[in-house]
Chain A
Amino acid sequence: MTATPTTLPAQGPARSKRGWKRVKKARAPTIKYTALLIFAVIVLMPVYILIVTGFKGVAETDPAHAWSLPSIWSLSAWHEAWTQLSPYMLNSFKLAIPATILSTALGCLNGFALSKWRFPGADIVFTFFLFGMFIPYQAVMIPLTELLSKLHFPAQLPQLALAHIIYGIPITTLIFRNYYATIPEDLMEASRMDGAGMLRTLWSVVLPISIPAFVVAAIWQFTSIWNDFLFAVFIITDPSQYPVTVALNNTTGSLVSAYNLQMSAALLASLPTLVVYILLGRYFMRGLMAGALKG
């Protein structure tokens, strides 16, 4: 049984449960912990500055006071940030959730067809999609917005969602295609021999084991869509429909910028994404473990 790296992924989690038991037996040396803690401190340094500046008054928010704790702790910046951002949080949710779901669904269909239910030229189509990842958006915002406006959406958020879905096709397709590539051909053969068509196979054989890939793609898409500023500022001209990133950008004044406001607002705006990471972090690892982005 010369095992190849591409053994049955459905057994993946089960198999690594056995492996986990062995792993847990190994002791984690203190060196490892020290190294991890040092890295964690380094990674969290900028976050510390973000948090601490949010609590400061204007007199202390300048580069010279970057490290110091506030001499007077103040919640006013947080309060102001919440006031400026909260009306737009709902817009971001209305945007990010449907767009994430639809773009991952699309990626799933594409990934499946390009890896498991192939057709002549499937690799060319994959290249075709992948190249779409690289288009520099800044240069094409003008014709893009014009194209989108020709579709006559009654509201602007759906337009923005569509843009994200379209430009999410390459990365979600990449994720699903690589994930499905680890499924052995035999499963597909067996399904075909049983007379199942493509959709039947997708529905009953492939989808049940795709949840980890869905989560991987969803996390990536949610982050990109939630944090996107460029598309949002060009496509949404009605201020009431601004997603939270545009509101976040508007915490910068045109002349005077209140750093404490900007930083507290940035942290508030990043919280939903952090929650997504924490909640789905477990599934994230499982998804990748099954080879979602192994290539």
Chain B
Amino acid sequence: MSDETMKHREVRTPRAIKRGAVLLGLIVLTLVVALSVTGCGKKKSTTTKTSASGGNCQLQVFSWWTGGGEAAGLAKLITDWNTTSSLGGGSPACQFKNETVAGGAGSNAKAVLAQRLVAKKPPDSFQGHAGKELLDYIKAGQIEPINFIYKAAGFEKVMAPQLIKQITYQGNLYSVPVNIHRANVLWFNPKVLKAAGITIKAGAPLTWDQWISDLNAVKAKQPNVTPLALGEAWTQKHLLETVMIGALGPDGWASLFTKTGDWNSAKVTAALDRFKTLLTYTNSDAASLTWQDAGKLVVDGKAAFNVMGDWQEGYFGGKVSAGNLGMKSGVDYSWTAAADTNGVFDWLSDSFTLPKGAPHRAAAVKWLTFLGSLKAQDTFNPVKGSIPARQDANPALYDTYLKWSLQQWKADKLACSLTHGCIASNAWNADVDTALGQFMQSKDVAAFQKALAAAAKKNA
């Protein structure tokens, strides 16, 4: 054995030197790279330190606007901010630092944000849906009330009183809404409907019974077409909310989410029964389709109707170069208010907040004031495909659908969305998700109603 070992060592020694050299080289290389990576960092901090005298100010804004119209709209706002002297372009400059994390309507972003807030290293401003979605942050004392910004800029004079009321919590306002989306829109393919003998005028009121008879007509005359295209879990909740608003009306809807809301009423049972009926007209593979996939079924002529928020308009009619379908409004697709909800605007809004301990608070306040200004809202919204929260928008800048939406926004009664974080907190929404998930498997309305009532009791 030792002979072999001797042989090994004799053979190995020159190889050992070679390999030892390789290892040494690797270690040296690693140290060099590691030091240069660290060194780069060191250099960065020294240069920022020297410019600190001139204002080491970077407005850190955290959002999940990573694609399509929103990214484009945000980019325009950033340009405006960086070049306007009274905002970020002045001296000392406070250039925009766009911190975005994509994924599932902000689920990744929210997780990262939660970590930063707990670690007390907040950004200067972050995106959130206006309304109860911010409740967790409010209760944790992580965002500041911004009534003073509203007063100074006079927002309360230009934004709808219903809107202000619905985003006020215990007398305080916590975010500036940048845009308004409408959730209760019924999209349809006019050609498919025509083949089933139905015509619906764009924006015309539609009652529940009419809609059901339309769905039946499609089912009967066009067996290869899905009457109502549906997508994954959150789109099902979205559909549910429009049905409930239609059955209960905006006041009934709002009352459900107060402490005295009665989820056990017969009215709610009737609404849930409507939802159950609706499900019989939907595609069986709903849970595997995103909202886009479901919407595309309509445009492709494979489905007749789809209930979705008006970002569907951006996808249907927007430019192909931006990842949209480039279809013609009125020809390839059309819309109206969801059944029984004519005159009700089921709204949601992307808004920005002022975190406590924002590193550049003065700039953050300027940012929020800027966001609520007419210029910012009329710059951002036409590109994004939504309407401003302000009532004094210039309709000429908006396309056909958005013009209609602007009109409705001025006239309709407002209902705060559930699915999009307006009327209920995250925890409440999560409980509704669980109840809905179980219902989709069991189709048991009574159990569903019970679960919803329990969720309300727990969270109201």
* Contact between chain A and chain B defined by CB under 8 Å: yes
| Residues of A bordering B, CB below 8 Å | 8, 10, 57-59, 62-64, 76, 94, 97-98, 101-102, 105, 141-142, 145-146, 149, 153-158, 161, 186-187, 190, 203-205, 207-209, 211, 233-234, 237, 239, 246, 249-258, 261
Interface residues of B (CB under 8 A from A): 1-2, 4-5, 8-9, 12-13, 15-16, 19-20, 23, 26-27, 29-30, 33-34, 37-38, 40-42, 44-45, 64-71, 97-103, 105-106, 108, 111-112, 114-116, 118-119, 121, 288-290, 292-293, 296, 300, 302, 311, 314-315, 318, 320-321, 323-326
A-B contact count (CB 8 A): 169
Residues of B within 8 A of A105 (CB): 26-27
The residues of B that contact A233 with a CB separation of less than 8 Å are 101, 108, 112
Q: A154-B45, A208-B19, A233-B101 are in contact. Are A254 and B320 (CB under 8 A)?
A: no
- Complex Cα distance, B102 from A211, in Å, reads 40
Of the residues A64, A207, A239, A255, contact of B20 by C-beta under 8 Å? A207
Query: In this complex, what residue of B is CB-closest to A77?
Result: B323
Q: Is the CB of B119 within 8 A of A145?
A: yes
> Which of B38, B45, B311, B318 has the most C-beta atoms of chain A within 10 angstroms of its own C-beta?
B38
The answer to whether B71 touches A253, judged by C-beta atoms less than 8 angstroms apart, is: yes
Provided the pairs A94-B33, A251-B102, A255-B67 are in contact, do residues A154 and B20 lie with their beta carbons within 8 angstroms? no
A sample of 18 more A-B contacts (CB under 8 A), given A158-B34, A256-B69, is A10-B8, A63-B289, A155-B44, A187-B8, A203-B20, A204-B9, A207-B16, A207-B20, A208-B16, A237-B116, A252-B103, A254-B64, A254-B102, A255-B67, A255-B68, A256-B314, A256-B318, A257-B323
Q: What's the nearest-Cβ distance from chain B to residue A244, in Å? A: 14
Selected from B45, B324, B326, the residue in CB contact (under 8 A) with A256 is: B324
Q: Chain B's interface: helix, strand, loop or mixed, by majority?
A: helix
Distance between B137 CB and nearest chain A CB, rounded to angstroms? 16
Q: A62-B293, A98-B37, A153-B41 are in contact. Are A252 and B102 (CB under 8 A)?
A: yes
Bound CA span A277–B68, Å: 35
Chain A residues near B100 (CB, 8 Å)? 239, 250
Contact in complex: B5, A234 (CB < 8 Å)? no
Q: How far apart are the CA atoms of A253 and B106 in the complex, in Å?
A: 10
B34 in contact with A249 (CB, 8 Å) = no
How far is the CB of B191 from the nearest CB of chain A, in Å?
17
A265 CB to nearest B CB, Å: 12
The answer to whether A249 and B101 have CB atoms under 8 Å apart is: yes
Q: How far is the CA of A194 from the CA of B23 in the complex (A)?
A: 24
- How far in angstroms is the closest Cβ of chain A from B95? 13
Q: By the criterion CB–CB under 8 Å, are A249 and B108 in contact? A: yes
Across the interface, B67 reaches (CB within 8 A) one of A146, A156, A252, namely: A252
A293 to B37 Cα, complex, angstroms: 33
A64 to chain B, nearest CB (A): 7
- Which residues of B are found within 8 Å of A142, using beta-carbon distances? 114-115, 118-119
Q: What's the Cα separation between A97 and B26 when bound, in Å?
A: 10
Residue in contact with A190 in the complex, picked from B2, B37, B296, B324, CB distance below 8 Å: B2
For the complex of A and B, 3 pairs with smallest distance between CB atoms: A253-B67, A155-B41, A258-B323
Chain A hits for B69, CB < 8 A: 255-256
State whether B38 touches A154 (Cβ < 8 A): yes
CA distance A57 to B320 in the complex (A): 8
Q: What's the dominant secondary structure at chain A's contact region? A: helix
Pairwise interchain contact B37-A253, C-beta atoms closer than 8 A? no
Q: How far is the CB of A281 from chain B (nearest CB, A)?
A: 20
**Residues of B contacting A157 in the complex (Cβ-Cβ under 8 angstroms):** 37, 41
CA distance A207 to B15 in the complex (A): 11
Once the chains are docked, how many angstroms separate the CA of A105 from the CA of B26?
10
Interface centre among A155, A158, A254, A258 (most CB of B within 10 A): A254
Report the minimal beta-carbon distance from A6 to chain B, rounded to whole angstroms.
14
Task: Determine the residue in chain A with the shortest Cβ distance to B106.
Answer: A254
For the complex, give the distance between the alpha carbons of A256 and B121 in Å: 30
A259 to chain B, nearest CB (A): 9
Closest chain B CB from A177 CB (angstroms): 19
Verify B1–A253 contact, CB threshold 8 A.
no
List 7 A-B residue pairs with CB atoms under 8 Å apart, sorted by A's residue number. A141-B115, A142-B118, A156-B41, A190-B1, A233-B112, A234-B112, A255-B315
Residues of B close to A161: CB separation below 8 A:
34, 37
- Asked if A246 meets B101 with Cβ closer than 8 Å, knowing A141-B115, A142-B119, the reply is yes
State whether A58 touches B37 (Cβ < 8 A).
no
Given contacts A186-B5, A233-B112, contact A239 B98 (CB under 8 A): yes
Contact residue among B34, B45, B102 (Cβ-Cβ distance under 8 Å from A253): B102
Q: Which residues of the other chain, B, contact A10 by a CB distance below 8 angstroms? A: 8, 12
Cβ contacts under 8 Å, B12 to chain A: 10, 204-205, 208-209
- Given known pairs A57-B320, A155-B37, A250-B102, the reply for A255 and B314 (CB within 8 Å) is yes
A155-B40, A208-B12 given as contacts; is B33 within 8 A of A256 (CB)? no
Instruction: Contact check, B118 vs A63: say whether CB atoms are below 8 A apart.
Output: no
Q: Is the CB of B23 within 8 A of A207?
A: yes
CB distance from A15 to the nearest CB of B (A): 13
Q: Which residues of B contact A250 (CB under 8 A)?
A: 66, 100-102
Give bound CA distance, A287 to B74, whole Å: 51
How far is B233's CA from A54's CA once the two chains are assembled, in angstroms?
27
Closest A residue to B319 by beta carbon equals A58
**Residues in A whose Cβ lies below 8 Å from that of B9:** 204-205
Kindly list chain B residues whose C-beta atoms are within 8 Å of the C-beta of A203: 16, 20
The answer for the CA separation of A244 and B102 in the assembled complex, in Å, is 13
Task: Say how far B91's CB is from chain A's closest CB, in angstroms.
Answer: 23
Residue from A211, A239, A249, A255 in contact with B19 in the complex, judged by beta carbons closer than 8 Å: A211
Give A253 to B322 CA distance when docked, in angstroms: 11
